[in-house]
Amino acid sequence: MAHKLLILISKLSIGAGGNPFTHHQDTNTLVKAWQKPDTIIVNECHWTPTARMSDIVLPATTSYERNDLTMSGDYSMMNIFSR
């Protein structure tokens, strides 16, 4: 019995809180996959490789710009708590 496989290609991709171009093991495959959606929107506070590859970049605040959260610690152990 033959089975049909339905592959859906999303026309819109929205991402926030990650930078796949610096974390993905195979960036060549990621670049190919990144070209499939018609529009890619990301939420970034820095001009990252992911932001450069996106169609629309929405601004995100850094921890220094927020007045409702604060951070403590160093890079290996960050603590976020309300003010």
Radius of gyration of the chain (CA): 17
pLDDT digits (tens, 9 = 90+) for 27-60: 888 888 888 889 999 999 889 888 999 999 999 8
d(CA 82, CA 75): 19
pTM for the predicted model, two decimal places: 0.65
Model confidence at 83: pLDDT above 70: no
Q: Is the pLDDT confidence value at 73 over 90?
A: no
> Which pLDDT score is estimated for 9?
75
